[in-house]
């Protein structure tokens, strides 16, 4: 079994972004909005700010209280949409219950939608005309590419059908000529389907959900899920110590798909800058 090292590949991607920004002498800007005080969200936001600093991307943070009204948040997004010095807008999810995630996503200018959640960008993804990429699924693809694993003609089983990972993951795999099966909570015979896979992408968020008897010999396993165990340690969907005996390639948690998400976010911010300045087609 070989490790798909997300930390190393993420560093390579961010370094390439940094070098392009320095070479072109430009100053892309990413605005991050955090509503409330969720500890995990705070960690994610801090990691994004560190990545921006590394890449030479200017970062703005807008921290709003837990009781923020939806209209106040939407007004901030409107201001950032109008600000020509801001190239990317990201509202850290989840948001408090009084705010509609759909309304927030819909309000962000598609050209500044560096998460690739807006309906226009989702449509571009499924029609193969995308410019901005869904961060976690695109990070998975970048990992495969780095290690020379070509999805073309392979059977990819995606476990999970979320708008953030499962659905866009299927779209990117289809674009690369994989045969894709999307499984979810209503799927029957999940184990049998997984045993037919060349590539398994698990995005369930249940610790050790993917057991060794679900993984065929020689499969590539990309573990997108992350959970915190009672002792405080982080764990992925895959039962790592046992799955590694079956898989040819496996991502660790942490240090696998997670770092790739932020690396693609940096790429998207640079792409958004180019879209808005006319450097790439609008």
CATH topology of domain 24-120+259-277: Rossmann fold (3.40.50)
**Would the CATH topology of 24-120+259-277 be identical to that of 135-251?**
yes
pLDDT attached to residue 280: 61
Residues 6+ apart with CB under 8 A from 78: 107
Give 236-249 pLDDT, tens digit per residue: 999 999 999 999 99
Q: How far is CA 232 from the centre of its chain?
A: 23
If one looks up domain 135-251 in CATH, what number appears? 3.40.50.720
Tokens of 176: 């690369």
pLDDT attached to residue 282: 44
Catalytic site residue from 48, 154, 244, 246: 48
User: What is the percentage of the chain residues whose pLDDT exceeds 70?
Assistant: 99
**What's the whole-model pTM score?**
0.95
Does residue 213 have an active-site annotation?
no
Report, as an integer, the average pLDDT of 244-257: 97
Report, as an integer, the average pLDDT of 132-148: 98
Catalytic site residue from 92, 133, 246, 276: 92
Residue with tokens 């005309």: 129
Does residue 23 have an active-site annotation?
no
Inter-residue contact 270 to 20 (CB < 8 Å): yes
Which residues are paired to 62 by β-bridges?
A: 33
Mean pLDDT of the chain: 96
User: Is pLDDT of 211 > 80?
Assistant: yes
Domain segments of the chain: what residues? 24-120+259-277, 135-251
Report the Cα–Cα distance between both ends of the chain, in Å, rounded. Answer: 43
Give 58-92 pLDDT, tens digit per residue: 999 999 999 999 999 999 999 999 999 999 999 99
Catalytic site residue from 14, 112, 113, 115: 115
Q: Distance between CA 145 and CA 147 in Å, rounded?
A: 5
Report, as an integer, the average pLDDT of 221-239: 94
Burial of 81 (0-12, 13-18, 19+ CB in 10 A): middle
Q: How far is CA 261 from the centre of its chain?
A: 4
The angle that helices 257-277 and 39-55 make with each other, rounded to 10 degrees, is: 60
């Amino acid at each position: 079994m070989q490790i798909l090292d997300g930390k190393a590949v993420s560093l390579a991607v961010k370094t390439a972004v940094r070098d392009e920004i320095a070479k072109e002498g430009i100053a892309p800007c990413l605005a991050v909005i955090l509503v409330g005080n969720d500890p995990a969200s705070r960690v994610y936001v801090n990691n994004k700010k560190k990545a921006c600093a590394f890449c030479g991307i200017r970062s703005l943070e807008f921290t709003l209280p837990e009781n923020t009204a939806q209209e106040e948040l939407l007004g901030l997004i409107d201001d950032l949409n109008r600000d020509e010095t801001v190239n990317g807008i990201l509202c850290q999810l989840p948001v408090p219950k009084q705010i509609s995630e759909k309304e927030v996503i819909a309000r962000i200018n598609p050209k500044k939608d560096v998460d690739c959640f807006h309906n226009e960008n989702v449509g571009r993804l499924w029609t193969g005309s995308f410019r901005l990429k869904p961060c976690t699924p695109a990070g998975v693809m970048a990992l495969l590419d780095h290690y020379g694993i070509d999805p073309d003609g392979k059977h990819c089983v995606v476990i999970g059908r979320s708008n953030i990972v499962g659905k866009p993951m299927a779209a990117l795999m289809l674009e690369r000529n994989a045969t894709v099966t999307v499984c979810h909570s209503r799927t029957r015979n999940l184990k049998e389907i997984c045993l037919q896979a060349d590539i398994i992408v698990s995005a369930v968020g249940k610790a050790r959900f993917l057991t060794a008897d679900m993984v065929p010999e020689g499969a590539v396993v990309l573990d997108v899920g992350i959970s915190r165990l009672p002792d405080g340690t982080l764990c992925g969907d895959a039962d790592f110590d046992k799955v590694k005996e079956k898989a040819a390639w496996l991502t660790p948690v942490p240090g696998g798909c997670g770092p790739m998400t932020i690396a693609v976010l940096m790429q998207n911010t640079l792409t958004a800058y180019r879209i808005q300045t006319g450097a790439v087609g609008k």
